[in-house]
Amino acid sequence: QSIVYKLFSKKKTKRMTTLSASWLSRSLSAIALTLPVAVWASDSLYSVYTVKGKSMEPSLMDGDVVLVRRVDFLPIILPYIHTQQELTTRARLLRAEGNGEQALLLSRPPLVLPGDVVVFANPSRAFPNEPNIKRVVAVAGQVMRPQNRFRSLETIPRFNIWVEGDNMEKSEDSNTFGPVSKKLLMGQAERVVWPPSRWQRIKRVPPSEGRAWWM
């Protein structure tokens, strides 16, 4: 009986080892297949950004983690999800930039409108490539009044945006470094995802009347 028990134990141990190796092999294969997709999605579709500083208070707080959309999905369905005023603004912006129509499936970077919150590479700091988060005040084809010099006007050139922090006293923004090229645009911040107590959609807040208008 002792010999039979030992043989049975050895077979059981060998079978468990084989099963474990098989499970590990399948798991590694699944990771190898899904990791490139996850990396591509993070780089091309969505990413996350941690808010640093107080420049966007009270809308966004220091330490908030936000979900950033890096592309426009299916621009052909926009008429069904946007208001008429938003569609008119988008059409004016596309004409100002000479784009005509957006791509049918994916368009990168997303077409942001006045009032949207965006993440972009800081144009005043070439290295390191430090991202910032601010709100869009004006877009290409618009004339606007900078916050720190109301007697002068600024014309926003093609493929540029003017950004400012909600908390002007704590913000380094376009009033310091001027319009931001859309080549530096990483995406549009859509939602606070962390901490759970702060879970919320990030609302579009258009600039106050008289700050920006179309030429």
**Taking 50 as the threshold, does the pLDDT of residue 76 lie above it?**
yes
Q: What is the pLDDT of residue 182?
A: 93
Q: What is the pLDDT of residue 155?
A: 94
Highest mean pLDDT among 74-78, 148-152, 153-157: 153-157
**pLDDT band at residue 4, thresholds of 50, 70 and 90?**
very low
Mean pLDDT of 71-90: 74
Distance CA 175, CA 169 (A): 12
Task: State the DSSP string of 151-200.
Answer: TS-EEPPTTEEEEE-SSGGG--SHHHH--EEGGGEEEEEEEEEESGGG-E
Indicate left, alpha or beta for 209 from its phi (over 0: left) and psi (-120 to 50: alpha): beta
**Taking 70 as the threshold, does the pLDDT of residue 131 lie above it?**
yes
**pTM for this model (two decimals):** 0.78
**Taking 50 as the threshold, does the pLDDT of residue 48 lie above it?**
yes
- Point out which residues pair with 67 in neighbouring strands: 48, 191
Q: What is the pLDDT of residue 35?
A: 44
**Taking 90 as the threshold, does the pLDDT of residue 81 lie above it?**
no
Length of the chain in terms of residues written: 215
Q: Percent helix, strand and coil across the chain, each rounded to 5?
A: 35, 25, 40
**pLDDT band at residue 125, thresholds of 50, 70 and 90?**
confident
Q: What is the pLDDT of residue 84?
A: 82
